[in-house]
Amino acid sequence: MNQHNTWDRLQPTLNRRFSVAPMMDCTMQPYRYFARQLSRRTLLYTEMVTTGALIHGDTPRFLRHSAAEHPLALQLGGSDADELGRCAALAEEYGFDEVNLNVGCPSDRVQNNRIGACLMGEPETVARGVAAMQARTELPVTVKSRIGIDGRESWEDLCHFIETVAAAGCRTFIIHARIAILEGLSPKQNRNVPPLQYGWVHALKERYPELEIILNGGIKTLAECQSHLETLDGVMLGREPYQNPWLLSGVDPVLFGEETPVTSRHEALRRMLPWIESELERGVFLSHITRHLMGLFHGCPGGRRFRRHLTENATRPGADLRVLEDAMAQVPEDHPALLEEPA
């Protein structure tokens, strides 16, 4: 069997039924590698990378990932069609499985560069960007948006946006089910204050059954996921699987009817050790990895001691694997029967 076939057998193909949302400073390589120990099926996204950074910056550093992270999508931020096309070609060259355009992020810095949610006011610009990306790659090109922005928040505006971008060839829309208020709310408030309107996303699927519609925003449990998946094509979760990564261990059995790849939290961490060791050897600080593991024992006896041990010791000069092993020893080993989704 050649390497390609072995790879196909080991790596499930891309499926958007369940994904972890792109999150700046969070869905970096250590988190993604860790998430992959907990679920083989979850589609993972990078944090957003702007087209300017990719084209003019240290491209290999921005696109660095390991084979173990697939299926993996690259999220781009940008609005210049030519630049988006070039970056989509880079996504394919570097082996990503999907390239996604961010039309949902409301930060000021991002608005000034015409990136993110402000582009919901310029559907034609998004359509041109999508077309340019598709012209340069065979990868699926997807769009992550809101249901609207201030001033463009009617159902008609949303349908016009979806139809314009779909006409350019995009068939997958990931929709954060709240508007973004570009005037007056911080990015953090914009993730909590505008009310969630799941009904709008369900109505989009009803109106455009030929499109793949993925719901994002405020989902915390696999039971909620199952309920949305009765009518929608996929769900994307952000904060919950970052703060409580063990949720991911339920994804393969509950949402895909497959065996979980991991039977205990300790096992998940032990599987990380060789990779962490190789990262330390390349000069990465332990704390830059362990900060993404903090939520693993969320709600478990000893979980606080685990976090405290890492907070106090992982930043010390020369901190190595022993720090993590000692932190793990603060927590009683999971019983395999503790696999159900945490409350």
Ligand X SMILES: Cc1cc2nc3c(=O)[nH]c(=O)nc-3n(C[C@H](O)[C@H](O)[C@H](O)COP(=O)(O)O)c2cc1C
Residue 22 assigned ligand-binding role: yes
Q: Distance from first CA to last CA of the chain, Å, rounded?
A: 44
Q: Which residues in 272-301 are b (16+ Cβ under 10 Å) and which e?
A: beebbeebbeeeeebeebbbbbbbbbbebe
Provide the token pair at 163.
Answer: 């139809």
Secondary structure of residue 80 in the 3-state scheme: coil
Q: Which is nearer to ligand X, 238 or 334 (CB)?
A: 238
**Residues shown for the chain:** 343
| Minimum gap (Å) between residue 326 Cβ and ligand X | 29
Is residue 53 close enough to count as binding ligand X by CB under 6 A?
A: no
CB 19 within 8 A of CB 97: no
# residues near ligand X by CB under 6 A: 22
| Minimum gap (Å) between residue 272 Cβ and ligand X | 22
Residue 216 assigned ligand-binding role: yes
> Residue 89 to residues 93, 144, 167, 255: CA-CA distances in angstroms?
6, 19, 21, 32
Alpha-carbon distance of 298 to 293, in angstroms, equals 10
Contact set for ligand X, span 217-246 (CB under 6 A): 217-219, 237-240
Residue 23 assigned ligand-binding role: yes
Active-site position among 26, 87, 105, 118 = 105
Annotation marks residue 159 as catalytic: no
CB 310 within 8 A of CB 323: yes
Is residue 331 close enough to count as binding ligand X by CB under 6 A?
A: no
Q: Which is nearer to ligand X, 196 or 280 (CB)?
A: 196
| Torsions phi, psi for 299 (to 5 deg) | 80, 5
Residues in contact with ligand X, shown as a per-residue x/- string from 132 to 151 under the rule CB under 6 A: ------------x-------
| Minimum gap (Å) between residue 90 Cβ and ligand X | 18
| Minimum gap (Å) between residue 278 Cβ and ligand X | 26
Residue ranges in contact with ligand X by CB under 6 A: 21-24, 26, 47-48, 75, 102, 104-105, 144, 176, 191, 216-219, 237-240
Binding residues for FMN: 22-24, 75, 144, 176, 216-218, 238-239
